[in-house]
Structure 1
Amino acid sequence: VSCSIAVSLADSGKKVLLISTDPASNLQDVFETLIGNKATKIDMCPNLDIINVDPLKAAEEYRESVIGPYRGIFPADVIRNMEEQLSGSCTIEIASFNEFAHLITDDEIKMNYDYVIFDTAPTGHTLRMLELPSAWTNFLNDNTTGASCLGQLSGLTSQRERYQTAVDTLSNEELTTMFLVSRPQVSSIMEANRTSTELSELGITYQILIINGLLQESNDDISEKMVQLQKEALSQMPDNLGKLRTFYIPLKSYNVTGVEKVRKFLKNDDNVTTNKDNILEEQFNNLQVLIDDLYHSGKKVIFTMGKGGVGKTTIASDIAKGLVAKGLKVHLTTTDPANHLDYVAHEMPNLTISHIDEKEVLKDYQEAVLEKARETMSQEDVRYVEEDLRSPCTQEIAVFRAFAEIVDKADNEVVVIDTAPTGHTLLLLESTQSYSKEISRSNGEIPESVYKLLPRLKNEKVTEVVIVTLAETTPVFEAIRLHEDLQRAEIKSKWWVVNQSLLVTNVSNKILQAKAMSEKEWIEKVRTVSNENFVVVSWHN
């Protein structure tokens, strides 16, 4: 949607800058062009420039901007200590905000462009990023002891004015419009509502709702079910979303890659011609094959991972229930801020369900640390600890501990984890490497479960990572990147799931037939990258 808006404005003669701050950006896939962290011109759209902000690279540059001036001046062990303090995942958040604040307040950008469009990340990461202006500003303003977030904020204090300008810009409805994009599905609308509420609490109130992917005609069982589900979802629109100005975009029969398809996206000219002959020329393995393999291999920790919206929650639930049917005790949990498990699974014999609530685990962690601190520390030292516990890193440390405790249940039962969308998932996994030392510095005892977690994740005899995708361009590319990141982290991933496939249904609706035919290319791509270890799950109500 953001790409189409950007191209449309650029075609009308406006100078447009499109920016992604998503750790798993797909702009280069959409425009079929290599895009970096400097403005890249799009040949087929002369008025459009694009920037891809890589948070990991931004973190490296931010870290060096803080440490660089002291190299050759301070002893090597002091430099190593500074590098250690700036090694946490929290630094990535701060560096991302640093880039975001720079771009949103840059005078040259304001002069050179009529519009600046941010293609933000999957919802969980987006909210974290948008909370940064208020979160970091409040932390800097309220910090009275000089304590910082384990050193990460040391590079920010000289730029308060810029950050305040960023906060003011976000909440100024004359300058900023927030587009909430949702599928016509209950879970997606719920997430949009949650986003809208949290944005409003941040003072970002000028919002517009876009319902994307609306199937407009039905003439077979599947299309009729889809249309009925859409109607039910839209009829349950929360009051505050119902008050927003709303636009509807029809479901397209093609994957949106290349400038011409991006141009076409917002126009009602989707002329469809397709031939579904021999579409079922091959039968694919179904989810039961994967469940059988997990059962026979004795896996104890099972993750479902993939881009937001691919159906990780449903697959996790189906895997859990499938293993229960084989007589195993299973615990199903989610670290997804959207907490979708409540809508697809309910407890049954040998199946328990839980959710890691970030606010609750943060409160519990803070209380536990302070209780221990009061046993041995002076009142002044306790105040110092209280200050440190208000740092943004503390919440991630608390979630990490809770995550480790859940995985620890694999000692006596199978744990199936429905993870958050890709960017959040990767940061959560990285925390197993970067937070163990930070936990020890935060005055909290390190539980045995934390020590055991990383070896478990890397032990392919114990852990299985099931990568879930859709047979579409962006989800497959995102899944491949996730697979590569897991490999770099030395975490094995064998099974892939192509979810919600129309190719293995008997659909006759023209739009859905065209969508089904377009899946072939991406299922073959999954076949290759998975070394034939994949299953296809048909579209279902």
Structure 2
Amino acid sequence: MEYTSYHPQMLKTPFLFFTGKGGVGKTSLACATAVNLAKSGKKVLIVSTDPASNLDDVFQVRLDSEPAPIADVQGLFAANLDPEEAARLYREKVVGPYRGILPDAAIANIEEQLSGACTVEIAAFDEFSKLLASTEVQDNYDHIILDTAPTGHTLRLLQLPKAWTGFLADSQHGASCLGPLSGLGEKKDLYAETVAALADPARTTLILVARPDRAALTEAARAAHELRTIGIVNQQLIVNGVLFDPGTDPAACLYHKRQAEALACMPGSLCELPLTFVGLNAAGLMGIQALETMFNMQHREPHGDRMNLSSRPQYLAPLLEQLSAKTTGVIMTMGKGGVGKTSVAAALAIGLADRGLHVHLTTTDPAAHLEFTVGEPSDQHFLTVSRIDPKHVTERYKQQVIAENASRLDEEGMALLKEDLASPCTEEIAVFRAFAEAVAKAKDGFIVLDTAPTGHTLLLLDAAEAYHREVLRSAGDVPEHVKQLLPRLRNPQETDVVVVTLPEATPVLEAERLQEDLRRAGIQPSWWVVNQSWQSVSTSHPVLAGRAYAESPWLGRVASLAEKYTVVPWKPQEPVGAEQLRGLLSDETV
């Protein structure tokens, strides 16, 4: 395959938006692009709207919502838009005027409507729109780079007509998305201009970032399609982390082969986009010096020491041993996208089934690929594999809500209800209810949940918390499995949360934040799994050996953070199918 190298000078529009599956390196690419453009004489502002932003980590400075100059790079400025704080301020703006006027129950109901993820997304978009629409900001910079572009979810929500005609105060039907927009009617023109700017190919380039693996490329294709349908057509694809020259090193040749096979199967829709590649880096991209070299890397001789893993737990066998001692329970794999949660979940499920325990393996991830990972489990009589299909459960939920309200709504009310149900947040409610149903099934065996990337997982936990508060406040018609969900997740005798990460800076730092968030919700992770480690892989290739040396400090950090942890080595074969998945359990099963 012929590789065309990516270079930031190819990007001409003033607005540059980076998006892609978690863990593909979009923050590193966005930051390196910003540094490169600034070094070429451009004035550049890079902004993150990610609640778990890594800009601070990459630039090694403390950032807030006000653009701040980056030392040692003239013309480069950076800012973190904190959507959580913006959502808090927005909620108070909506609720504040009614405190002391409306009854406490009514105030609590408004706060409940504004407690979900939609409010956070809209608040983030609000902050972003003010920045984008500011002529002062636009006049001050040659390029504005956004790390984490608005999702199709957010943009579809803003296009619903009812969002700008008021919110039904009597929202008994359960749809959730339009409440967060109830106080934003005066900003309709601002948002329309923002969406128009996103769709203008003369002003905006959307850069889709992927890794040379099937899951990341599939996710990129899905995002490209979704954004194209709402008018964002000026798209480019960057495949990051390609090992261009494997040489004769056996491990490097196998690594290169896996990547080539994934690229050969790239979805056809991506092949139509301008396509460039960025090479695999030997170490983490932290600090200006590392960012400057991202696009002109040369192999460096490996240096440093590998860690001695002989005394450390390796593979999933120690974790499997502890889980199987229970015979029943809920197991959830969590972590940043792209770290291998699906593979770990599938391997644990197969290991438990091999021991004669009944296991139901399922996923709440909209980009699920469990079927591909597990393959045909013909020998797994104790294993059931399923998927919570967001489209299917959403349609079922919509029909249920419509049926429940058919007798009390007139024609106009039913039309408004149907539009409300067309909002993207309806899917989150429906998936959450299906998630609660799945957890409730873990009575006669195990249910292993391959959950979505960090942000989506926390949406589900936020929803659980919201339902739990509602249950405590009233004896409403809440399904029993929903009432019991959060207490079950908090009970370590029933639920094991496994945090999956890679031995790299960004995944470990995000896993650390995830653990903090879980603890605040009263949930304690029982294990960490450090996946795809090069520590015990024999290789003399300078890039791969360099990656092994660079892992040491992050493995040390995991050891200080995790209650228990284990390290899974990189495997030459993609962990697809039962036999390959068993290879993650123990080196004896390879």
TM band (smaller chain): over 0.9
Q: Aligned match of 2:65 in 32, 37, 50?
A: 37
> Is 2:542 the counterpart of 1:513?
no
Q: Which moved more, 1:49-58 or 1:444-453?
A: 444-453
Superposition map of 1:49-128 within 5 A: 49-71=77-99, 78-120=106-148
Q: Aligned match of 1:2 in 30, 37, 45?
A: 30
Superposition map of 1:71-470 within 5 A: 71=99, 78-120=106-148, 129-140=151-162, 149=177, 151-218=179-246, 219-274=248-303, 282-298=311-327, 300-346=329-375, 347=377, 348-375=380-407, 381-435=413-467, 445-470=477-502
Q: Which moved more, 1:88-97 or 1:43-52?
A: 88-97
* TM-score relative to the length of structure 2: 0.85
Preserved contact between residue 305 and residue 467 of structure 1 (Cα < 8 Å): yes
Q: Distance in 1 between matches of 2:414 and 2:160?
A: 21
Q: Distance in 2 between matches of 1:488 and 1:367?
A: 35
Q: Which moved more, 1:307-316 or 1:38-47?
A: 38-47
Q: Distance in 2 between matches of 1:79 and 1:279?
A: 57
Q: How far 1:285 moved relative to its partner? A: 3.2
Change (3 A) 1:295 1:103: same
Q: How far 1:452 moved relative to its partner? A: 1.2
Secondary structure of 1:46's counterpart equals coil
Change (3 A) 1:275 1:133: closer
Q: Distance in 1 between matches of 2:540 and 2:342?
A: 28
Q: Distance in 2 between matches of 1:369 and 1:235?
A: 44
Q: Distance in 2 between matches of 1:408 and 1:255?
A: 41
Deviations 1:125-171 (CA, angstroms, capped at 9, x unpaired): x56x3432332232436858856846321211111001111110111
Q: Distance in 2 between matches of 1:524 and 1:94?
A: 38
Give the equivalent residue in structure 1 for 2:581. Answer: none
Q: Which moved more, 1:159-168 or 1:340-349?
A: 340-349
Q: How far 1:220 moved relative to its partner? A: 2.6
Q: How far 1:468 moved relative to its partner? A: 0.5
Q: Distance in 1 between matches of 2:523 and 2:402?
A: 35
Q: Distance in 2 between matches of 1:266 and 1:490?
A: 43
Give the equivalent residue in structure 2 for 1:472. Answer: 504
Deviations 1:173-215 (CA, angstroms, capped at 9, x unpaired): 0000011111111221111111111121121111111111111
Secondary structure of 1:222's counterpart equals helix
Preserved contact between residue 358 and residue 445 of structure 2 (Cα < 8 Å): yes
**Identical-pair percentage:** 43
Preserved contact between residue 145 and residue 384 of structure 1 (Cα < 8 Å): no
Q: Which moved more, 1:331-340 or 1:149-158?
A: 149-158
Secondary structure of 2:515's counterpart equals helix
* TM-score relative to the length of structure 1: 0.92
Q: Distance in 2 between matches of 1:77 and 1:199?
A: 40
Q: Which moved more, 1:331-340 or 1:430-439?
A: 430-439
**What is the Cα-based RMSD across aligned positions, in Å?**
2.4
Preserved contact between residue 276 and residue 513 of structure 1 (Cα < 8 Å): no
Change (3 A) 1:476 1:141: closer
* Aligned residue type for 1:168: A
Deviations 1:238-257 (CA, angstroms, capped at 9, x unpaired): 22211221111111111100
Gaps in structure 2 of 5+ consecutive residues: 1-28, 172-176, 574-590
Q: How far 1:367 moved relative to its partner? A: 0.3
Change (3 A) 1:411 1:377: farther
Q: Which moved more, 1:521-530 or 1:214-223?
A: 214-223
Q: How far 1:22 moved relative to its partner? A: 1.1
Deviations 1:321-358 (CA, angstroms, capped at 9, x unpaired): 11111111111111112112122114431111111222
Preserved contact between residue 164 and residue 185 of structure 2 (Cα < 8 Å): no
Preserved contact between residue 42 and residue 75 of structure 2 (Cα < 8 Å): yes
Q: Distance in 2 between matches of 1:135 and 1:277?
A: 49
Change (3 A) 1:385 1:202: closer
Gaps in structure 1 of 5+ consecutive residues: 121-125
Q: Aligned match of 2:45 in 10, 14, 17?
A: 17
Q: Distance in 1 between matches of 2:80 and 2:544?
A: 32
Deviations 1:507-538 (CA, angstroms, capped at 9, x unpaired): 2222111111111111111111114x110001
Structure having the higher helix fraction is 1
Query: How many corresponding residue pairs?
Result: 532
Secondary structure of 1:227's counterpart equals helix
Change (3 A) 1:446 1:139: farther
Q: Distance in 1 between matches of 2:328 and 2:67?
A: 46
Q: Aligned match of 1:534 in 561, 565, 568?
A: 565
Q: How far 1:70 moved relative to its partner? A: 4.4
Change (3 A) 1:404 1:73: closer
Q: How far 1:385 moved relative to its partner? A: 3.7
Change (3 A) 1:345 1:278: closer
Q: Which moved more, 1:343-352 or 1:500-509?
A: 343-352
Q: Distance in 1 between matches of 2:537 and 2:163?
A: 58
Q: Distance in 1 between matches of 2:307 and 2:233?
A: 51
Q: Aligned match of 1:47 in 75, 78, 97?
A: 75
Q: How far 1:417 moved relative to its partner? A: 0.7
Preserved contact between residue 334 and residue 499 of structure 2 (Cα < 8 Å): yes
Q: Which moved more, 1:96-105 or 1:471-480?
A: 96-105
Q: How far 1:89 moved relative to its partner? A: 2.8
